Amino acid sequence: MVERTYTVALAGQPNVGKSTLFNLLTGMNQHVGNWPGKTVEQKVGHLTHNGTTYRLVDLPGTYSLTANSLEEIIARDFIIKEHPDVVIVLLDAATLERNLYLVAELLPLPAPVIVALNMMDVAEQEGFKIEPEVLEAALGVKVVPMIATKNIGTRELVAAIDEVIHNTVEYTPKRPEIRSDHQEVLEQIEALIAGHVPEPYAQDWAALKLLEGDKEITRILQEQMSEAQWELVHEVLRDHDDALVAVAGGRYEWIGRMIRAAVTRPKAGQIGLTERLDRWATHPFWGLVILAAILGSAFWLTYAIGAPVQDWLNSAVVGGLARLMSNLLASAPSWLQALVIDGVIGGVGTVITFLPILVIFFAILALLEDTGYMARAAYVMDRFMHLMGLHGKSFLPLFLGFGCNVPSVMGVRVIESRRARLLTTMLAPLIPCAARMTVVAFLAPAFFGRAAALVSWGLVALNLVVLALAGVLLNRIAFKGARAAFIMELPLYHVPNGRTIGLTVWQHGLAFLRKAGTIILAISVLVWALSVLPGGAIENSFLARIGHSLEPLGRLMGFDWRLMVALLASFVAKENSIATLGVLFGASEEAGLAELMAGSFAAPAGLAFLAVQMLFIPCVAVVGVIRQETGSWWWTLFNVAFLLVISLLMGVLVYHVAGLFF
Amino acid sequence: MHRNTHHSQNFSLNALQPHERGIVTNLIGGRGLLSRMATMGFTPGAEVTMVQNFGRGPLIVLIRDTRVALGRGEASKIHIRRASDG
């Protein structure tokens, strides 16, 4: 007999160790994608127990199930519409009171709930004494104590899932009720909306959500009811605009009863590890010093480990592959040799050489997130990021962009709100990456001599000013100035879990190779083809013809067609513009190029070229990851167009302003 | 002296000094903000302890066993009274 596959949803607030538990239950047997049509990450995995297969779906981490964010709507819609057979709600035992809030929201929904009480060891350290059996009796649902990082309690959790699914225990949850002073108004609303609540929503639940001012349910009922009928509901709601706090207060009263029964609190005045560390980590001055030290080490690690590995990959793997293919294709036509060796393997090389940097950055980000430090970094940076309408959490991914924009865009996923994620992603390419700085370092001395360092700093400053202005502008126009309120949990510090960090690095690396990698490869081959077809030399190629046709535009900035071609070629990789210019100016060695260029162009054109290069459309790898992370071609193309316009406008401006001085 | 100035009256969370405790009496603000604050545990009757308050910049408070960081703008919308044994 083949049993059907059961669906188990994993719910939990942020910072409760959900990914650790998910990885523990499913191992490598998992798939990371996006929720259908959404830009929110979805993880699905499988596990088998006693011949039964369970499909485990990781719901987004949310504090509640009221429609404040996309994540909250996704989590509750999954439970209401997809009817999972069981919902596991993972709680942090050390912050049980706030964590039970999600349980209070889950119990009124139709799916049976199992409470997994994680971090029992941390709770004990913090001085809490929790009796899981008492909590179980009070809640009326199965409670499984566990320490996911030490694999304690997982077997009991799986057994509990098995029990609930095979109905060996009766499911009789004790659901929270609304505060007595709002009982009447709740009944009033329920009577008014009776018969209008569409499937699969329950009538009493919808009434409660209306009272809470839930945008999604309000919209749905407004659509379902006639204007006159809705007006009656609206009137009641208007008279009780404090109901939201009463509903939340009612849930916390219910939680208070559970806590009094099952938990003994630590004595007041006990100072835990978190408090001692936070005296430094969240201090307005020392917090910044610590953050700077951590970021400094992150860059040092990347260059100390990443750069040699990158070189080795380039020479041994990519070079080896090229030699192998040229031997294999020795008798093949020369166009095929060129396509495979210069086009395809060149593109593969671009993809592969990003990997070492990405792995190191992901590992550092995952480590900072898993220990709980990330929230502190966001806290100390919030006052500065605030000015751009950004959250403190945007700082770290943006800062990583000084190395390379690719991990920067991928690191944006640590930000919870979708709006802030998008805004940060749109701004990330404005951080000048190391490759762009290489171009500046190469050309600036020839044009500006001793002032080269000053010019380089000025160009970096220009990028940062443009970033700040673009942040303010995008926030006002595209995001309507709506900035999520700054209320953020500072989780307790934890010893990081190697398995969680390892799996995160593995998944993100794989996602990069699979999704962004294919886009990068395809576009690299395309640009390569444009640069050698039809004759084989770049001077007469399609790319050169495009450059010629763009020359009128270039003249506004003092450029000729060769500079336009160099900009186009830098789309594959920013440092390509030097090699391209080398070919186009016929420099026998790259060393002579800078002088040749300085001889052909005056300083204003040179400065304009560097400014455009610094602000130009992101390279193909960044475009690939923006598409991967936003899940939207619209936002990806918007970003390219936005930067194209900004960089060209700046180019014209810099050329004419510099012309006044030189 | 300082302690008595706020006695038996409501004041904003911003005015609470480190290590002092208060009881939430009232929240004001738009629905979205109210909902987020209530979810994080700020409901009337909840006890809140100030952890960090330098007089400017964001605050850190302890509420319902959770350390919560919040901006001064957000904190000004949370009204409290001094905890009776504070």
Q: Residue A63 is nearest to which of B33, B40, B69, comparing CB atoms? A: B40
Same domain, A12 and A146: yes
The pLDDT of A122-131, averaged and rounded, is 90
Strand ranges of the sheet holding A143-145, from the earlier edge strand across to the other edge:
A30-34, A41-49, A52-58, A6-12, A86-92, A113-118, A143-145
C-alpha distance from B16 to closest chain A C-alpha (Å): 17
What is the mean pLDDT of the segment spanning A194-222?
Answer: 92
Query: Residue A217 belongs to a domain with what CATH number?
Result: 1.10.287.1770
Answer yes or no: do A196 and A157 share one domain.
no
Please determine, for residue A481, whether its predicted confidence score (pLDDT) is greater than 90: no
Q: A82: domain range?
A: 6-165
Phi/psi at A167 (5° precision)? 55, 35
Contact B70 A68 (CB under 8 A): no
Q: Which of B46, B65, B68 sits opposite A490 (nearest CB)?
A: B68
Cα distance between residue A562 and residue A565, in whole Å: 5
Contact A68 B36 (CB under 8 A): yes
Label residue B2 by pLDDT band (50, 70, 90). very low
A222 Cβ under 8 Å from any chain B Cβ: no
Which residue of B32, B66, B69 is in closest CB contact with A379?
B69
| Alpha helical stretches, state H, A194-314 | 203-211, 215-224, 227-239, 243-262, 273-281, 286-301, 307-312
Which whole number is the average pLDDT over A333-339? 82
Inform me whether the pLDDT recorded for B4 exceeds 50. Answer: no
Residue A87 makes CB contacts below 8 A (sequence gap 6+) with A8, A9, A10, A11, A79, A106, A109, A111, A112, A113, A114
B69 contacts in chain A (CB < 8 Å): 282, 375, 379, 382, 486-490
Q: How far is A528 from chain B (nearest CA, A)?
A: 51
Residue pLDDT, tens place only, A353-402: 778 877 887 888 889 888 989 889 889 888 788 777 777 778 878 887 88
Same domain, A15 and A106: yes
Q: Of A134, A165, A196, which marks where a domain is finished?
A: A165
Q: Which of A98, A245, A382 sits opposite B40 (nearest CB)?
A: A98
What are the chain A neighbours of B40 within 8 Å (beta carbons)?
63, 98, 487, 489
DSSP letters spanning A559-605: --HHHHHHHHHTTT-TTHHHHHHHHHTT-SSHHHHHHHHHHHS-HHH
What are the backbone angles phi and psi of residue A58, rounded to the nearest 5°? Answer: -85, 110
On whether both A144 and A229 belong to a single domain, the answer is no
Residue-wise pLDDT for B13-22, tens only, equals: 999 999 999 9
Q: Residue A61 carries which DSSP code?
A: P
Look at residue A268 and tell me whether its pLDDT is greater than 70. Answer: no
User: Which residue out of B13, B43, B56 would a mutagenesis test of the A interface target, given it has the greatest number of A Cβ atoms within 10 Å?
Assistant: B43
Residues A10 and A72 in one domain: yes
Residue A469 belongs to some domain of the structure: no
Q: Is A286 on the interface with B (CB under 8 A)?
A: no
**B51:A275 CB<8 A:** yes
A471 within domain boundaries: no
| A28 and A117 share one domain | yes
- The domains of chain B are located at 2-82
Test B40 with A487 for CB contact under 8 angstroms. Answer: yes
Taking an 8 Å cut-off on Cβ atoms, the answer to whether A379 and B60 are in contact is yes
Among A212, A243, A264, the domain boundary falls at A264
Share of chain A above pLDDT 90, in %: 38
Which residues from chain B sit within 8 angstroms of residue A64, using beta carbons?
A: 35, 39
Q: Which amino acid is at A347?
A: G
Looking at the fold, whether A96 and A199 belong to one and the same domain comes out as no
How many Cβ contacts (< 8 angstroms) between chains A and B? 110
Residue in chain B closest to A382 (alpha carbons) equals B58
**ipTM associated with this complex:** 0.89
User: Residue A282's closest CA among B18, B40, B82?
Assistant: B18
Q: Which of B38, B45, B64 sits opposite A244 (nearest CB)?
A: B38
Reply yes or no on whether the pLDDT at A56 is more than 90. yes
pLDDT at A410: 83
Structure confidence at residue A482 (pLDDT): 58
Whole-number pLDDT of residue B78: 96
| Partner A, chain B 36-55, Cβ-Cβ below 8 Å | 36-41, 43-46, 51-52, 54
The tens digit of pLDDT for each residue in A587-636 reads 655 557 777 888 888 889 999 999 999 999 998 889 988 998 888 899 99
**Cβ-based contacts of A375 with chain B (< 8 Å):** 69
How far apart are the C-alpha atoms of A637 and A626, rounded to whole Å?
9
The tally of domains found in chain A comes to 2
Cβ contacts of B37 on chain A, cutoff 8 Å? 485, 487
Residue B65 has its nearest CB partner, among A98, A375, A488, at A98
pLDDT at B51 over 90: yes
- Per DSSP, A428 falls in state G
Q: Evaluate whether residue A105 is within a structural domain.
A: yes
Binary contact (B31, A284; C-beta < 8 A): no
For chain A, give the mean pLDDT.
Answer: 86
- C-beta atoms of B35 and A68 within 8 A: yes
Reported as type and span, the H/E element at residue B62 is: strand B59-63
Q: Which residue has the higher pLDDT, A560 or A67?
A: A560
Q: pLDDT, tens digit, for every residue of A5-32? A: 999 999 999 889 898 899 899 987 888 7
In a domain, residue A599? The reply is no
| A204 within domain boundaries | yes
| Chain B nearest C-alpha distance from A64 (Å) | 6
Chain B residues lying within 8 Å of A490, measured CB to CB: 60, 67-69
Q: Whole-model pTM?
A: 0.81
pLDDT tens, residue by residue, A139-197:
999 999 999 988 999 999 999 999 998 877 778 899 888 888 889 999 999 999 999 99
Of A66, A382, A490, Cβ closest to residue B35: A66
Q: Which residue has the higher pLDDT, A629 or A515?
A: A629
Give the residue ranges of DSSP H helices in A478-560: 498-511, 517-532, 542-549, 551-555
By CA distance, what is B69's nearest residue in A? A488
Which residues lie below 8 Å from residue A558, measured CB to CB, with a gap of 6+?
A: A601, A602, A604, A605, A608, A655
Q: Write out chain B residues lying below 8 Å of A284, CB-based.
A: 54, 57
A338 burial class (0-12, 13-18, 19+ CB within 10 angstroms)?
middle
Per-residue confidence (pLDDT) for residue A484, from 0 to 100: 64
Q: Which is more confident, A472 or A647?
A: A647
Tokens 């605009």 belong to: A241
Q: Are residues A32 and A152 in the same domain?
A: yes
Cβ within 8 Å, pair B66-A489? yes
Q: Is residue A483 part of a domain?
A: no
CB B21 within 8 A of CB B61: no
Q: Give A-chain residues touching B46 at CB under 8 angstroms.
A: 252
Are A215 and A153 within one domain?
no
How close A213 comes to chain B (CA, Å)? 7
**From the list B31, B37, B52, which residue is nearest A487 (CB)?**
B37
Distance from CA of B4 to the nearest CA of A (A): 23
**pLDDT at res. B1:** 38
- Determine the residue of chain A that is closest to B56 in CA distance: A284
Indicate yes or no: CB of A379 within 8 angstroms of CB of B54. no
The answer to whether position A628 is within a domain reads no
User: How, if at all, do strands B78-82 and B11-12 pair?
Assistant: antiparallel
Q: Which of A19-23, A96-100, A551-555, A573-577 has the highest mean pLDDT?
A: A96-100
State how far the Cα of A623 lies from the Cα of A55, in Å rounded to an integer: 33
What CATH number does the domain located at B2-82 have? 2.30.30.90
CA distance B30 to chain A (A): 10
Q: Please give the pLDDT value at position B86.
A: 43
Among candidate residues A109, A132, A165, the one where a domain is terminated: A165
B35 and A248 within 8 Å at the Cβ level: the answer is: yes
- pLDDT at residue A443, as a whole number: 83
User: What pLDDT is stored for residue A523 in this prediction?
Assistant: 77
**Are A248 and B43 a contacting pair at CB < 8 A?**
yes
Assess whether A251 and A161 both reside in one domain: no
**Once rounded to an integer, what is the mean pLDDT over residues A474-492?**
77
Q: Phi, psi (5° rounding) for residue A143?
A: -120, 125
pLDDT of A565 above 90: no
CATH code, domain with A56 = 3.40.50.300
Give residue A589's pLDDT.
Answer: 55
| A83 and A195 assigned to the same domain | no
For residue A521, being part of any structural domain is answered with no
**CA distance to partner chain A, nearest, from residue B9 (Å):** 21
